[in-house]
Amino acid sequence: MTRTTAPSDTSVLIVGAGPTGLTLAIVLARAGVAVRVVEKASAFHRESRGKGLNQRSREIFEDLGVGEEAAASGIDRITLRKYRGGVPVSDYVSFGDNAPTADTPYASGLLIPQWRTEEILRGRLARLGVEVELGSELTGLLQDEDGVTADLADGRRIRADRLVGCDGGRGSVRKLLGLSFEGATEAEECMVIGDVRADGLDPAYWHQWFDEDGGIMLCPFRGSDHWQLQAAPERDADGAVLPPSEESFQRTFDRHARVPHVRLTDVRWTSVYRISVRMADRFRVGRVFLAGDAAHVHSIAGGLGMNTGVQDAFNLGWKLALVHRGEAAEQLLDTYEEERLPVAAWTLRLTDERLGAVREGVRRAGVGTEAAVTEDTTTLRVGYPWSSLAWGGPDAGERAGGVRRGEGGPWFTLRGPDGPVLRELAGKFGALVRVQEEPAAPDLLLVRPDHHVALRVPPSGAGEVAERLGGLRSGPSGV
| Cβ contact 139:40 at 8 Å | no
Q: Are 409 and 441 in contact (CB under 8 A)?
A: no
CA distances from 76 to 27, 73, 357 (A): 25, 10, 24
What is the CA angle 48-305-316, rounded to 5? Answer: 115
Residue 131 Rama label (left phi>0; alpha psi -120 to 50; beta): beta
Looking at residue 250, what is its pLDDT? 97
- Do residues 406 and 320 share a domain? no
Q: Give the span between the Cα atoms of 469 and 479, in whole angstroms.
A: 9
Counting as low any pLDDT under 70, the low residues of the chain are: 1-5, 187, 359-372, 405-408, 475-479
**CATH number of the domain bearing residue 464:** 3.40.30
Domain identity same for 419 and 352: no
Helix (H) / strand (E) element for 322: namely: helix 305-324
- Residue 86 DSSP SS3: coil
239 domain residue, yes or no: no
Q: Supply the pLDDT for residue 1.
A: 47
| Domain finish residue from 335, 359, 378 | 378
Q: Are 81 and 89 in contact (CB under 8 A)?
A: no
Residue 366 is predicted with a pLDDT of 53
Question: What are residue 149's DSSP bridge partners?
Answer: 142, 159
DSSP of 330-397, one letter per residue? GGGGHHHHHHHHHHHHHHHHHHHHHHHHHHHHHHHHS--GGGG--TGGG-TT---TTSTT--BSTTTT
Q: Which helix (H) or strand (E) holds 165?
A: strand 157-165
pTM: 0.95
Beta strands at 284-285 and 412-416: parallel, antiparallel or unpaired: unpaired
Task: Report pLDDT for 362.
Answer: 63
DSSP labels for 125-164?
HHHTT--EE-S--EEEEEEBSS-EEEEETTS-EEEEEEEE
Whether residues 287 and 349 share a domain: the answer is: yes
The domain in which residue 35 lies consists of 10-44+53-69+110-182+276-378
Q: Based on the domain organization, do 315 and 457 belong to the same domain?
A: no
Residue 469 domain-assigned (yes or no): yes
Rg (CA), the chain: 23
Q: Determine, yes or no, domain membership for 312.
A: yes
- Decide if 281 is inside a domain: yes
Q: Are strands 10-15 and 35-38 parallel, antiparallel or unpaired?
A: parallel
- Give the model's pLDDT for residue 399: 96
**Same domain? 430 vs 290:** no
Pair (158, 306) in one structural domain: yes
Please indicate, yes or no, whether residues 403 and 441 belong to a single structural domain of this protein: yes
Q: With beta carbons less than 8 A apart as the criterion, state whether 64 and 28 touch.
A: no
User: Same domain for 329 and 365?
Assistant: yes
- pLDDT score recorded for residue 370: 65
Q: Which of 359, 378, 397 is the last residue of a domain?
A: 378
Identify whether 478 is part of a domain: yes
The reply to whether 479 and 337 lie within a common domain is no
What is the number of domains present in the chain?
A: 2
CB 61 within 8 Å of CB 55: no
For residues 141 and 285, membership in a common domain is answered with yes
Of the candidates 62, 38, 71, the one whose C-alpha atom is nearest the C-alpha of residue 141 is 38
Provide the strand spans (E) within 60-114.
79-84, 87-93, 110-111
Secondary-structure breakdown of the chain: helix, strand, coil percentages, each rounded to the nearest 5: 35, 30, 40
> Pick from 313, 344, 378: which residue ends a domain?
378
Confidence at residue 167, expressed as pLDDT on a 0 to 100 scale: 97
28 and 154, same domain (yes or no): yes
Instruction: Give residue 2's pLDDT.
Output: 47
Calculate ∠ Cα 447-450-454, nearest 5°: 30
Domain CATH code at residue 156: 3.50.50.60
| 52 phi, psi to nearest 5 deg | -150, 145
438 and 323 assigned to the same domain: no
Predicted confidence at residue 3, as pLDDT, reads: 46
